[in-house]
Amino acid sequence: MRPQTKNIFEYPKYWAECYGTAPFLPTTREEMDQLGWDSCDIIIVTGDAYVDHPSFGMAVIGRVLEAQGFRVGIISQPEWHNKDAFMSLGKPNLYFGITAGNMDSMINRYTADRKLRHDDAYTPDNEGGKRPDRAVLVYSQRCREAYKDVPIVLGGIEASLRRLAHYDYWSDKVRRSVLMDAKADILLFGNAERALVEVSHRIANGESVDTLTRIPGTAVMMKTAPDSMREIDSSRIDKPGKSMVMPNPYATETACKTNEDKEKSAAKPITVRPARHDAENSYVRLPSFEKLVNDRILYAHASRVMHLETNPYSARALVQKHGDRELWINTPPVPLSTEEMDFVFDLPYARVPHPMYGKAKIPAYDMIKTSVNIMRGCFGGCSFCSITEHEGRIIQNRSKESILNEIEAIRDKVPGFTGTISDLGGPTANMYRLGCSDPRAERNCRRPSCVFPKICEKLDTDHQHTIDLYRESRKVKGVKKVMIASGVRYDLAIESPEYVKELVTHHVGGYLKIAPEHTEKGTLDLMMKPGMGTYDRFKELFEKYSKEAGKKQYLIPYFISAHPGCTDDDMLHLALWLKENEFECDQVQNFYPSPMCNATAMYHSETNPLKRVKYKKREDLTVAKGDRQRRLHKALLRYHDPANWPLIREALARMGKKHLIGDRPGCLVPHEGSEAELTPAQRRGSSRHGAKRFATKHPNQPDIRKDGQKARRPSRGQGQDHQSQSPDSNKNRNPKSGKPGRQHGNGGKTQNKAEHGKPSPGRSSPALGKKGKKPAGNRQRQAAR
């Protein structure tokens, strides 16, 4: 068991606390002068626009450090082609803190098909091109050019999920740790408040950054690993097997063993192996970067071992050799307590963008300005999502009082507040105050998911805390409606029918999104998602309670195409299920291989790292990597789009499924020539660049928005995150009406999920709804930090 950690609000204040609280953290020397500052102690460089809101990482980090007494400045979306912008606030007294922003910069700038996006939700007026590729590396280089002797501290989701040697989808190769490529001094991963506060105070007290090597939640480069700790080779935890070595056909046979040889080899010294969870005095050596570059099976092994070492109470440090240096990854940070979470979220945020942006709209802010983040973390463990690797598996909860106070702050501070709270949620809507009922088991558990392949018997699934919170939030004066826009984990929800009833009766604005992600068991197992039987049970409860409430409400299921292990047949079965249930997806998301996800290891290695990986004995996977196959999987989700019919017909003929072509019931697409009967707008489908995209349609579905029940769906997870999945930036039109729909953000799970509490793009799967009308306001999920 690790020693008791110090609360982040218990540190003695730095001397500069005498300057008090800034209305906004300064972004220019003029603003510093107005505050009476001659210099900044810490300067944060970020790829996002500066919004002083607890959903934006730079604001959370800046306000937490300000509360410690430090003078913190912000350099937001600097011009990166030279060092001038990085010198605009002068030389920081302690260090530069660098983050790419709330999303990985590559996911922010490129689609899942590696096409450049032309917009950026974290930039004023949604303008693209305001951040560089691999922003952490570029910003670090410019800061080093500006002030060579100033320490550089990396943080945010891009650095967090690239802390080890990792597969990079955009260059299609394994890259080194971002810490080494950036030539930074230290990297903080996860929701880094605890590590950041300790690092800041120790540097302020005169300690060299080179000595800060054993802080949980940090990574550093070393010349050698510590001699005082016992090394455990990763193959002892999960043996990958040995490479095949061909025998030398010209080697001579060795002579027979003599008694003398037997005497020499008979006795072997007894060695004492460390206890399995002796985390304090041992570390795990992962295969070196140089070995992983050309060995995909070894990469899958390293990924599997890394995911086994994520419990903050029992994980061991990781070491990975990069050239002649050692990358030292300390254990994950201890989760924040409820008191610490309240401290972070109760800081004096202005809750609006910095005044320098004037009347410019920042889409990410507009999506979350009236939403409340009630928790962090996720124990779902979905393989395509990296929230667990970023925020942790243990849920970090705010108190009910803190959440209600924030609702009141939204009511009083947010311009144009109409009385609707757009979301009470997080990475998942219904994990608030859920967790392991056995503290001892929780501290030693190495399971990647608490709910797959089935819900753990030790998991407390009582939703009463969430129900009580919903009821109290509806009582806040001035609040007319409280929506739940974060994704609902429906396998947990069916464990508490009372929760489903409360949700459906009071908190659904006509549409509720859930994420089955697929229909086929093999693919769902690789995704670590429950089967469709669970979806059907939730659907029954949803429809039952909607009927009892006298409301016409609809589920919007999300699906992912081209996930590793998903075959053409699997996608065909999913398309047939969609047509049978009369769903039409107009917003589709191909799998996006983002750093550190289990599914990304599947994509690169073409094997299953959820099971023990060996060279000879392993589970190989079918992976859609080619552009044509990925287009086919995406097209099958949009079987109704005439632009996709030729590709689908060709695939059906190749698969021996020509009987699915025609106008008969049960056919997927019509015969060739049917396109000629369509209007030009219908032939264009929904691929027209520059148009808005919307989610789904279902026959006979009324437009609920006409009844004043427009459902806004900004999200509040931490993100995404989830960082990993992000929707294509090409925008779409309704192929039947030509009218633009609402834009839906995504990120990954992961990632999508940068720094603290930021808004992030949501699930990687497309939003689905019912045919005929588009659902109101799909929102961006908050990325993991």
Which three-class secondary structure state does DSSP give residue 231? strand
CA 2 to chain centre: 27
Sort strands 435-436 and 459-460 into parallel, antiparallel or unpaired. antiparallel
**Are the C-beta atoms of residues 603 and 596 closer than 8 Å to each other?**
no
* Dihedral sign for Cα atoms in the order 562, 568, 569, 572: positive
Nearest to 55 by CA among 19, 91, 101: 101
E strand segments, 191-344: 218-222, 230-233, 282-285, 317-322, 325-329
Local structure of 327: helix, strand or coil? strand
- 212: phi then psi, degrees, rounded to nearest 5: -90, 75
Phi, psi of 260, rounded to the nearest 5 degrees = -65, -40
In whole angstroms, give the CA distance from residue 711 to residue 713.
6
Burial 371-387 (b: 16+ CB within 10 A, else e): bbbbbbbbbbbbbbbbb
For residue 95, give the nearest of 188, 28, 225 by alpha carbon: 188
Q: Is the peptide bond before 453 cis (omega within 30 degrees of 0)?
A: yes
Phi, psi of 102 (to 5 degrees): -75, -15
Pairwise CA distance, residues 602 & 600, whole Å: 5
How far is the CA of 396 from the CAs of 8, 406, 593, 751, in angstroms? 15, 17, 27, 18
451 Cβ contact partners less than 8 Å away, ≥ 6 residues apart: 379, 380, 381, 459, 489, 491, 492, 530
- On whether 382 is known to bind a ligand per the annotation, the reply is yes
Strand partners, 44: 74, 97
**What contacts 481, CB < 8 A, 6 or more positions away?**
419, 420, 421, 509
CA dihedral of 375, 379, 384, 387, whole degrees rounded to 10:
40
What is the pairing mode between strands 152-154 and 186-188?
Answer: parallel
**254, 289 contact by CB (below 8 A):** no
The two three-digit tokens of residue 64, written as one number = 């937490």
378 is in an annotated binding site: yes
Query: Residue 223 burial (CB < 10 Å; 0-12/13-18/19+)?
Result: exposed
Element (H or E) spanning 584, and its range? Answer: strand 584-585
Is 256 annotated as a binding-site member? no
Do the beta carbons of residue 695 and residue 767 sit within 8 Å? yes
| DSSP for residue 677 | G
Residue numbers belonging to the annotated binding site for [4Fe-4S] cluster: 378, 382, 385
